[in-house]
Amino acid sequence: MLGLILYDRTQRRGETMTQSAPSSTPSSNSPISGPSRIGLIVPSSNTTMETELPELFRRQTASTGQAYTFHSARAALKNVTTEELLAMVGKAAQCAADVSDANVDVIAYACLVAVMAQGPGAHTSAEAVIEQAAADNGHAAAVTSSAGALVRTLHEIGARRVVMVAPYMAPLTKMVSEYIQGAGIEVLETVSLEVADNLEVGCLDPHNLPAIARALNYTDADAIVLSACVQMPSLPAVQAVEDELGLPVITAATATTYEILKALGHRPSITGAGSLLSGNVRTLTRAQA
């Protein structure tokens, strides 16, 4: 996993140091000096990541007293096509420099499919580009991406077989599936909702997701990827699907939140968003059999 650049928030303008990524179970939720600053790089048409993540972190604050602020940079994207996705990728470094001006503690590159469109393993180089751009701008920050967070989180919980729901047209869903499989995780079945316009993706009703998940052949799956897209709303359905189907439910947003908390050294304590963010996530035994 890409090393994360961390620093003491009590010395915001002070010396930086490079460390390996934090463990999945930080030792405590000890008070910090001021709110943690979270930087997001999002598509210009994204309407979901800047609503679901603040809500998740609001719940974290309610449980722990830890405070967070959000600071975004936007890259042009209207239609979820390969051409527009690749063009967005070319703007990542400038967006990283721009958002790092806010001296954020962590930067999340919140466009899963833009990274995955570059081929298996592309999250490693994408995160390195963002990390370098922030450091070169004089504001080093921990870095994650929704693409990297999803595959790393699935590995961390021991999920070797998943089923997946995506809003994309079928060719892009296939590409996302191949990316996940390229990371060593078998995708047993996918559902494509066939929505190309990114604004329309953000208007999809998350309350339809339980029925969609219920129709998947999840018998042999270790986990359900309920939304393989940071723009497709899913938060209201995560806990309901997990409770009903009895499998861990992961989304691009919850995986990204999980890695942001890890980078900050904060133990997840979020209610109503699945076991991953509850603080009680367990490694799957069936996946290890």
The pLDDT of 251-260, averaged and rounded, is 97
Quick one: pLDDT at residue 156? 95
Contacts of 208 (CB under 8 A, 6+ apart): none
pLDDT in tens, 56-65: 999 999 999 9
CB 82 within 8 A of CB 143: no
What digits encode the pLDDT tens for the residues 121-154? 989 989 999 999 999 999 999 999 999 999 999 9
The active-site residue, picked from 38, 75, 107, 111, is 111
For residue 232, give both structure tokens. 């497709």
Return the domain boundaries, the chain: 35-146+254-277, 150-251+281-288
- In single-letter form, the type of residue at position 249 comes to V
Of the pLDDT bands very low, low, confident and very high (cuts 50, 70, 90), residue 89 is: low
Higher pLDDT, 251 or 17: 251
pLDDT of residue 114: 81
Q: What is the pLDDT of residue 85?
A: 65
User: Is it the case that residue 14 has pLDDT exceeding 70?
Assistant: no
Q: Quick check: 83 pLDDT over 90?
A: no
Q: Residue 183: CB partners within 8 Å, gap ≥ 6? A: 120, 121, 151, 154, 155
Query: Of the ranges 186-195, 224-233, 272-281, which one carries the lowest mean pLDDT score?
Result: 272-281
- For the stretch 151-183, pLDDT in tens is 999 999 999 999 999 999 999 999 999 999 999
Q: Does CATH place domain 150-251+281-288 in 3.20.20.80?
A: no
Tell me whether the CATH fold assigned to 35-146+254-277 matches the one assigned to 150-251+281-288.
yes
Local structure of 118: helix, strand or coil: coil
Rg (CA), the chain: 18
Which one is catalytic: 229, 249, 250, 255?
229
Which residues lie closer than 8 Å to 79 by C-beta, 6 or more apart?
Answer: 196, 197, 198
Could you tell me which of 184, 188, 176, 194 has the C-alpha nearest to residue 251? Answer: 176
220 is written with which tokens?
A: 């042999």
* 229 belongs to the catalytic site: yes
Measured in degrees and rounded to the nearest 5, phi and psi for residue 120 equal -50, 135
Helix (H), strand (E) at residue 161: strand 161-166
The strands making up 223-227's β-sheet, listed across from edge to edge, are 186-192, 161-166, 223-227, 249-251
Please state, in angstroms and rounded to a whole number, the distance separating the CA atoms of residues 73 and 96: 8
Greatest CA separation for the chain: 53
Pick the CATH number of 35-146+254-277 from 3.30.450.20, 3.40.50.12500, 1.10.10.10, 3.40.50.1010: 3.40.50.12500
Instruction: Fill in the amino acid letter for 146.
Output: S
What the block records as the tokens of 42 is 């999002």
Chain-wide mean pLDDT for the chain? Answer: 85
Residue 285 has pLDDT above 60, yes or no: no
